[in-house]
Amino acid sequence: MRTLDVRDLTVAYGAISAVRSASFTAAAGKITAVVGANGAGKTTVLNAISGLRDVRAGRIDMDGQDIGALPPHERVRAGIAQVPEGRRLFGRMTVAENLEIGAFVRQDRAKVRQDIERILVLFPRLKERYRQLAGTLSGGEQQMVAMGRAMMADPSVLLLDEPTMGLAPQIVDLVLEAVQAINAQGVTVLLVEQNAYRALEIADQAFVLETGEVTLSGSGEELLSHPRVRSAYLGHDA
C-alpha cells in the first residue's frame, strides 16, 4: 500500500491557473474521492500526478519520494496507473490485446498472465468478450477494459477519471463495486467522479475542488452530510 501526497500543486494553461496551490493526501489503502463542478480542475490534477500535464509549482510524493520530475512511463513503473476519462481504448484491437498493452512496463510475464486471469474474474463479462474488438463493446464493457488495462500495470495507486460517465445505473453499480474490490486488494484509489453522491458513498476520504482550489475535505460520510456539498453537488437544499 502506498500513500500519494500532493502539496501546493499549481498547474497553468498559459496565463490561466487551472489548479491553484492544491494540497491533499490519498492515504495508503483508501479510496479518496475528488468532487467538483465541470472545469474545477479535477482531470488536470490527475494528469499532473501521472505526468501528462506539466506543473508550475508544487510537489508530488509517493511514500515520501518526490516523483514530480519523472516522465509518465517512469511514474507507471513507480506504481501509478490512470484510467482516463472517455476510456481511450484501441478500438481495432481485441480486449486481450488492450489488456496486454497495459503491462508494457513489466518483465514478469508469468505474473502478467496471472493478473489477466484476476481481471477476468473481476470482470466476468470480459472473459466472454476476450477476443472481441474493443470498439464493438458497450460503454460499460469498454470501461471494464480500461480499468483492467490500468490494473495490468500492477499499480499501487490507481487514478480513475469519471469511470461512470454515460453508463446505465446498473453498470454504474458494477463499476463502483469493481473499484471497491480493487481497493480491497490493497490498491490506493484516487477517484474523480461527476456523480458526487455515489463517489462519496464509497470514499474513505474526499475533498472538493472549486476553480482549482481545495475548499473542503473530510471523510466521505462527512461531505455527504455537509450543507454546502448537499446544495451544490447532491441536488439537496442545505
Cell numbers placing 88:
481511450
Q: Per-residue pLDDT for 106 more than 90?
A: no
Residue at 82 is within a domain: yes
Residue 72 lies in a domain: yes
CATH number for the domain spanning 187: value is 3.40.50.300
124 located within any domain? no
User: CA–CA separation, 155 vs 50, rounded Å?
Assistant: 12
Q: What pLDDT sits at residue 232?
A: 87
Give the residue-averaged pLDDT of 20-28.
96
Q: How many domains does the chain have?
A: 1
Q: CA–CA separation, 219 vs 28, rounded Å?
A: 15
> Is pLDDT at 237 greater than 70 in this prediction?
no
The torsion angles phi and psi of 82, rounded to 5 degrees, stand at: -120, 135
User: How confident is the model over 19-44, as a mean pLDDT?
Assistant: 95
* Average pLDDT in the chain: 94
Tell me the pLDDT tens digit for each residue of 43-79: 999 999 999 999 999 999 999 999 999 999 999 999 9
Could you report the per-residue pLDDT of 162-171, keeping only the tens digit for each? Answer: 999 999 999 9
Greater confidence (87 vs 214) lies with 214
Question: pLDDT (tens digit, 9 = 90+) per residue, 176-221?
Answer: 999 999 999 999 999 999 899 999 999 999 999 999 999 999 999 9
Q: Would 76 be classed as within a structural domain?
A: yes
In which band, very low, low, confident or very high, does the pLDDT at 160 lie, cut at 50, 70 and 90? very high
pLDDT score at 236: 58
**Is the Cβ–Cβ distance between 189 and 199 less than 8 Å?**
no
The DSSP code sequence of 122-138 is: H-HHHHHTTTSBGGGS-
Angle in degrees, CA 77, 159, 2, rounded to 5 = 60
DSSP the chain: ---EEEEEEEEEETTEEEEEEEEEEE-TT-EEEEE--TTSSHHHHHHHHHTSS--SEEEEEETTEE-TTS-HHHHHHHTEEEE-TT----TTSBHHHHHHHTTTT---HHHHHHHHHHHHHH-HHHHHTTTSBGGGS-HHHHHHHHHHHHHTT--SEEEEESTTTT--HHHHHHHHHHHHHHHHTT-EEEEE-S-HHHHHHH-SEEEEEETTEEEEEEEHHHHHT-HHHHHHHSS---
Residue 212 lies in a domain: yes
pTM: 0.93
pLDDT higher than 90, residue 1: no
**35 with 200: CB under 8 angstroms?**
yes
Domain residue limits at 45: 4-88+154-233
Question: Phi, psi (5° rounding) for residue 182?
Answer: -65, -45
Mean pLDDT, residues 10-38:
94
Tell whether the model's pLDDT for residue 12 goes beyond 60: yes
What span, in angstroms and rounded, lies between the C-alpha atoms of 32 and 46? 12
Query: Residue 190 falls within a domain, yes or no?
Result: yes
Q: Which residue has the cell 515520501?
A: 64
Q: Is the pLDDT of residue 233 over 70?
A: yes
Residue 111 included in any domain:
no
How far, CA to CA in Å, does 176 sit from each of 26, 52, 72, 97, 162? 18, 25, 26, 24, 11
65 within a domain of the structure (yes/no): yes
Give me the pLDDT at residue 238, please.
Answer: 43
